[in-house]
Amino acid sequence: MLDIKFIRENADLIKAAAVKKHLSFNVDDLVVIDTKRLAILKEVEEARAELNKPLVFNSPEEKEQILSERQKIKSDSKAKEDELEEIMKVWRTLMLQVPNVPDISVPEGSDDTGNVEVRKWGDIPQFDFTPLDHIALMEGQDMVDFERGTKTAGFRGYFLKNDAAMLEIAIWQYAMSRWQNKGFTPMLVPSLVRREALLGTGYLPQGEDDLYKDGNDYLAGTGEVAGMYYYSDEVLNEAELPKKMIVWSPCFRKEAGSHGKDVKGLIRVHEFYKCEQIVLCIASHEISVKYHEEIARNAEEMMEELGLPYHTVANCGGDLGLGQVKKYDIEAWMPSQEKYRETHSASYFHDFQTRRLNIRYKDKDGKMQYAHSLNNTAAATPRLVTAIVENYQQKDGTIKVPEILVPFMNGKTILGKPFRNLSNSSTAVNDAGVSNI
């Protein structure tokens, strides 16, 4: 949410933001309704002031006249208050639709095809055999059960087993420990949240279709929701900032609009787990940019420690959310698809979220300010598991453990047992790199 004064004074900037983000929003409608709101609010406040004046009269007749006049003012004021209430409903709805202004460096584009590569790291693995996808590898090693997963949880359901279960837990331990050592406060946060938490972080009302809900209770798609709501309606001291958190939670998304995309495997699932970086800092664009680069680099360093080839893209306007000022996606190389797939997303919002959540701080001069907020994935699983499995696979179907994870795997360096014999025609591999066994 933006300041209404800023919106009125910069209507052209808001119009340009809506165009760049490819959003349908008419700021003129908001300005018109806000003008009505202010006019009626003035009338209501004047009526209240009149009604609060002490009664002064010199005769019973004068008292009766004054009381009659006050009754009319009260009646008229009630009608204005009812009108104001209806206008406020429209006003609040429009205010929740105002897009944040993207940074000037955000590329033009209508969807993720307009994202621009800004960094690349690692050598694409060159196999002397036809690599398998994560589905064939993990089923061959009894690491995953999709059939029973679907039976239990429906479409996109899965069970992780054996080495895959331990690998996923190892990733969480590694990430939480790593970020704690960087000064982030580790937290396990709720996935079940109130509607207000999702409104405050900007996931509602636009993202309603992608959320599981029961009345006013929702299952969040990221730990950012609960992590940010933790400080809602609080006033911090500037000396406390920045607040840095590394939060872990189960996450749930319906994947609305993704029908037909990644229908097999673990790339796109309804239930997953995530370690998320969250930062609250002072209200400064320069400081927000500084921390945006820092949290993105935190994730890139982790990918390098895991030995996973990746590239980082700056998201174009059409691939930004309503509240994001700028976003980077970090994408890992997936050998079976011969392309990069997103594993991390780093965003900053200025005070868009904190105004909604009413997270403020007192600056050095004692003035109240809304903090700035940022977030970035630290580790999302099982998607990160799929990248490790595919990039670290060996000819016999076993999988190396990234060196950084070995201590978290009780010293284990190889996952699974050999199950591929490429000299044996009974173990065929099709042209897509998917095992037929």
Which residues are designated catalytic?
Answer: 253, 268, 342, 345, 383
Q: What is the largest CA-CA distance in the chain?
A: 113
Task: With CA atoms as reference, report the closest residue to 406 among 398, 397, 415.
Answer: 415
DSSP 213: E
349: Cβ contacts below 8 Å, ≥ 6 apart: 100, 202, 323, 324, 325, 372, 373, 374
Asked whether 162 and 141 are in contact (CB, 8 A), the reply is: yes
How far apart (Å, rounded) are the C-alpha atoms in residues 433 and 136? 9
Site of tokens 């800023």: 6
| Torsion of Cα atoms, 217 then 218 then 223 then 226, to 10° | -30
For the record, the structure tokens of 288 come out as 């927000």
Residues 415, 419, 420, CA angle at the centre, nearest 5°? Answer: 115
How far apart (Å, rounded) are the C-alpha atoms in residues 320 and 322? 7
Asked whether 373 and 348 are in contact (CB, 8 A), the reply is: yes
**DSSP letters of 153-169?**
H-TT--EE-HHHHHHHH
Phi first, then psi, for residue 369 (nearest 5°) are: -135, 150
Judged by DSSP in three states, 408 sits in: helix
Task: With CA atoms as reference, report the closest residue to 296 among 245, 330, 248.
Answer: 330
347-to-109, 153, 159, 307, 333 alpha-carbon distances in Å? 17, 31, 31, 24, 21
For the record, the structure tokens of 225 come out as 């929701």
57: Cβ contacts below 8 Å, ≥ 6 apart: 63, 66
| 329 strand-pairing partners | 313, 345
For the record, the structure tokens of 386 come out as 């799929």
With 0-12 / 13-18 / 19 or more C-beta atoms within 10 angstroms meaning exposed / middle / buried, residue 350 is buried
Q: How far apart are the first and last CA of the chain?
A: 53
